[in-house]
Amino acid sequence: MAEFTVNEVIDGDTFKVEGSWKWNQRSGDIVRAAGYNTPEIGDLGYEVAKEKLCHAFAGAFLLPKAILERELMKNREQITLWELEKIKQIYGISIQAIIKRAHMLGIVSDFFYRNFQVMLNRKGWKKKEPFEYKGREEAIRFNQLLHYGVSEEIITLSRGAELANMSLSEFMENVRAAV
């Protein structure tokens, strides 16, 4: 099966891809997904179908299959709120999106998905989820470059400490060699 980089979603089942494909003595840069049909541009339901497809792409980007399977394992009957909160805090994606992605990948059943949606509505969690994303993201690139610079002897320990705004002894403890 060929792999493509999608440059544009034309409608719910048609995409413009990077480069060109060749198959069965034909070629081009437009791909139409087989196995399902969605409304065409201007048809009733087109905007909804396109938005759902965009959400599916975003879900695949934010929470790839391999990662979600690692986090939840395969074929779950139940998922705890603790597990959903953990995934939300790590990947910054809503619990609704996590369960939707798990359903799309077949990790949870239709039955579980429907019941989960009912529970979200009943508890008012579609509007306000039971826990907030804490957003504990930390920029580490600067520290990464400092450690690289010191370990490769591009900068001295004292210069690294100065750039890190630490004492030399603090910085030396921080950059201890792994070997």
Whether 179 is in a domain gets the answer no
Of 62, 80, 95, the residue that ends a domain is 62
Q: What is the pLDDT of residues 73-121, one digit of tens each?
A: 888 888 888 999 999 998 889 999 999 999 999 999 999 999 999 999 9
Residues 88 and 127 in one domain: yes
Whether 107 is in a domain gets the answer yes
Whether 51 is in a domain gets the answer yes
Residues 71 and 127 in one domain: yes
Helices (H) and strands (E) in the chain, counts: 8, 3
pLDDT, averaged across the chain: 83
What SS3 state is found at 171?
A: helix
Grade residue 142 by pLDDT with cuts at 50, 70 and 90: confident
Alpha-carbon dihedral of residues 47, 48, 51, 56, nearest 10 degrees?
-140
Q: What is the pLDDT of residues 7-31, one digit of tens each?
A: 777 776 777 877 777 777 777 888 7
Residue 46: in which H helix or E strand, if any? Answer: helix 46-62
Q: Which domain holds residue 17?
A: 1-62
Q: For residue 46, what are the contacts with CB-CB under 8 A and spacing of at least 6? A: 11, 12, 38, 39, 40
Domain total for the chain?
A: 3
